[in-house]
């Protein structure tokens, strides 16, 4: 059976509908002051998608107002969140929501410029997307490493919805809706090393896990998924495909990805490399097999944390 939100989406534009559903759900959970457990779930999601690390949590905010598609000064962010902080100052947040589309060139640059002219003392610009969403370098700069993934929203709701009083059904329906759109984090269960139609889902799942692990390990400016091809000359000519991500760790460029060889598709190794001199560390694919998605994520994060420091000579 399809989810409530899937059934209501028939004939409606995908990205705008997704934005409106998210805003309506959070607003509904925040509305009733007497249902604190429902409100707590909404606050957890807001703290994920609408604040920078050093900014205060939404827990103590007053008068939280969340709206979709509000036009101001010629710009129209997907989600606008405003509130009053306990010290009497104001908070203003823009959230750009993406499903399968990429960010339009200079879209986030314009939002940052408008946000910087706001009279709010606390400001945040966030991109809510999939790990595969493409972002231009100038928009990455405007974003200031502030993004959240739909899989994180899914996990936050999954961990919190059991405490909700009235919103349980809505939260469960929204989780099912995200599952129907393949937005939850999935463990890699098959042979993801072969670049073939039947294994692409596993390969994408692995890169999605890798992207989130890099962010949690302290990498900044993590790129969207990249694919490159080349040819070996020794010992024999063979075309290979590299699939992975780039990111900055302690202000130095590193890449994390897999070289896939048609002649030996099952020998998959994750390689963390330092640019541009290319020393690297390896994690064999077999070390992730049989683990849940949460355990695979933790294993990848540990590998990245330990080996990034070694590659850069950080003790």
Any idea what the CATH number is for the domain that residue 134 is in?
Answer: 3.40.1350
Claim to verify: residue 91 and residue 28 sit in the same structural domain: yes
Do 89 and 234 lie in a common domain?
A: no
Instruction: Give the per-residue pLDDT at 195.
Output: 43
pLDDT digits (tens, 9 = 90+) for 104-146: 888 999 999 999 888 999 999 999 998 878 888 888 888 887 8
Domain of 85, in residue numbers: 4-180
pLDDT at res. 310 = 86
143 in the same domain as 32: yes
Could you tell me the CA-to-CA distances from 211 to 166, 192, 257, 301 in Å, in that order?
34, 16, 10, 10
Placement of tokens 């130095």 in the chain: 252
CB atoms within 10 A of CB 54: 5
- In angstroms, the CA 131 to CA 183 distance is 10
Task: Please name every residue paired with 211 in a beta bridge, in sequence order, or none if there are none.
Answer: none
Angle between helices 36-49 and 14-31 (to 10 degrees): 140
188 in any annotated domain? no
Instruction: Check whether residue 265 and residue 143 sit in a common domain.
Output: no
Q: What is the DSSP letter of 33?
A: T
Do 114 and 220 have their domain in common?
no
In terms of domains, do 219 and 249 share one? Answer: yes
DSSP state letter for 60: G
Residue 53 lies in a domain: yes
Last residue of a domain, one of 131, 150, 180: 180
Whether residue 174 is found in the same domain as residue 209? no
- Total domain count for the chain? 2
Query: Are 158 and 201 part of one and the same domain?
Result: no
For 299, the 3-state DSSP assignment is: helix
Q: Rounded to the nearest 5 degrees, what angle is found at the Cα of 33, between the Cα atoms of 29 and 34?
A: 105
pLDDT tens, position by position, 62-91: 889 999 887 766 678 899 999 999 888 999
Q: Which of 180, 208, 230 is the last residue of a domain?
A: 180
Helix (H, G, I), strand (E, B) or coil at 26: helix
> With contact defined as beta carbons under 8 Å apart, do 118 and 92 qualify?
yes
Residue 190 belongs to some domain of the structure: no
The sign one gets for the Cα dihedral 112, 221, 209, 298 is negative
Query: Is the same domain home to 221 and 105?
Result: no
Pair 169, 265 in one domain: no
Helix H or strand E segment including 40: helix 36-49
Instruction: Say how far apart CA 26 and CA 170 lie, in whole Å.
Output: 10
Together in a domain, 152 and 10: yes
Judgement on whether residues 14 and 125 belong to the same structural domain of the protein: yes
User: pLDDT higher for 204 or 175?
Assistant: 175
pLDDT in tens, 212-263: 888 888 888 787 777 777 766 655 666 667 778 888 888 888 888 877 666 6
Strands 90-97 and 122-129: parallel
Give the pLDDT band of residue 194 (cuts 50, 70, 90).
Answer: very low
Chosen domain end from 153, 180, 207: 180
Which backbone phi and psi does 155 adopt, to 5 degrees?
Answer: -65, -40
| Six-digit token string for 119 | 């009279």
How far is the C-alpha of 2 from the C-alpha of 88, rounded, in Å?
A: 45
| Inside any domain, residue 285 | yes
CA 202 – CA 143 distance, rounded (Å):
29
Where residue 220 falls (left for φ over 0; alpha for ψ -120 to 50; beta otherwise) is: beta
């Amino acid at each position: 059976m399809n989810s409530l939100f899937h059934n209501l989406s028939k004939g409606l534009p995908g990205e705008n509908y997704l934005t409106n559903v998210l805003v309506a759900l959070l607003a509904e959970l925040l509305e009733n002051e007497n249902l604190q457990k429902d409100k707590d779930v909404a606050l957890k999601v807001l703290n994920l998608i609408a604040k920078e690390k050093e900014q205060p949590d939404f827990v103590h905010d007053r008068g939280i107002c969340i709206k979709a598609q509000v036009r101001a000064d010629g710009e129209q962010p997907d989600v606008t969140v405003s509130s009053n902080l306990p010290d009497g100052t104001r908070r203003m947040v823009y959230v750009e929501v993406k499903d399968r589309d990429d960010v339009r060139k200079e879209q986030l640059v314009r939002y940052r410029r408008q946000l910087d002219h706001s009279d709010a003392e606390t400001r945040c610009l966030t991109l809510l997307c999939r790990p595969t969403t493409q972002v231009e370098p100038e928009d990455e700069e405007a974003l200031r490493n502030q993004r959240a993934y739909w899989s994180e929203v899914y996990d936050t709701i999954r961990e919190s919805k059991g405490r909700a009083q009235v919103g349980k059904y809505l939260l469960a329906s929204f989780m099912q809706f995200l599952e129907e759109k393949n937005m939850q984090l999935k463990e890699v269960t098959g042979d993801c090393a072969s670049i073939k139609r039947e294994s692409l889902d596993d390969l994408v799942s692995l890169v999605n896990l890798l992207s989130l692990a890099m962010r949690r390990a302290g990498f900044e400016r993590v790129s969207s998924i990249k694919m490159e091809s080349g040819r070996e000359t020794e010992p024999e000519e063979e075309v290979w495909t590299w699939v992975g991500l780039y990111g900055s760790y302690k202000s130095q460029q590193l890449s994390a990805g897999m070289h896939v060889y048609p002649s030996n598709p099952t020998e998959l190794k994750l390689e963390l490399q330092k640019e541009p001199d290319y020393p690297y560390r390896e994690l064999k694919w077999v070390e992730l097999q049989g683990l849940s998605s949460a355990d695979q994520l933790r294993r990848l994060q540990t590998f990245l944390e330990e080996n990034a420091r070694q590659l850069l000579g950080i003790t």
